[in-house]
């Protein structure tokens, strides 16, 4: 049952909390319209303050290693992990497009299956 419906029926917040088994602050926030049921608050993205810096650094040097860039932003105050940092680089599409690098991302499967030396067997 909806907390709003119980409140309209005259239930107190304490009674609604006991009935629904939720935290008092959560119910109060729902009733005041500060929160929406079934939706968690998003934590602020720690990468956003460093987004412009990363874009500029990668525009200057598109082949800059992510680990080097990570070391730089850590010194500037970034507190996230390396894996979170690289995921944010991909999510925000920070690295500029480089045709030579993009073309080498994948090899044709037929070429991979017939690499020279594949038939060599060492006993």
Calculate ∠ Cα 58-65-99, nearest 5°: 60
Residue-wise DSSP of 26-76 = HHHHHHTTSS-TT-PPPPPPTTGGGHHHHHHHHHH-TT--HHHHHHHHHHT
Domain residue spans of the chain: 1-41, 48-103
* pLDDT of res. 90: 94
| Stretch 7-20: mean pLDDT | 93
pLDDT (tens digit per residue) in 14-66: 999 999 998 999 899 989 988 887 777 778 889 999 999 999 999 999 999 99
* pLDDT of res. 109: 47
* pLDDT of res. 43: 80
Q: What is the value of pTM for the model shown?
A: 0.56
pLDDT (tens digit per residue) in 60-109: 999 999 999 999 999 999 999 999 999 999 999 999 888 777 665 555 54
Contacts of 64 (CB under 8 A, 6+ apart): 57, 58
* pLDDT of res. 42: 77
Please, what sign has the CA dihedral across residues 2, 35, 91, 82?
negative
């Amino acid at each position: 049952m909806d907390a709003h419906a119980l409140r309209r029926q005259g239930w107190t917040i304490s009674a609604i909390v006991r009935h629904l088994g939720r935290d008092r602050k959560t119910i109060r926030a729902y009733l005041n319209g500060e929160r929406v049921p079934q939706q968690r608050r998003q934590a602020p993205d720690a990468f956003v303050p460093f987004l412009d810096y990363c874009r500029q650094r990668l525009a200057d040097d598109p082949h800059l290693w992510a680990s080097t860039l990570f070391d730089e932003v850590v010194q500037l105050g970034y507190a996230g992990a390396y894996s979170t940092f690289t995921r944010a680089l991909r999510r925000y599409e920070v690295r500029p497009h480089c045709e030579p690098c993009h073309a080498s991302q994948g090899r044709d499967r037929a070429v991979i299956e017939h690499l020279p030396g594949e038939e060599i067997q060492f006993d």
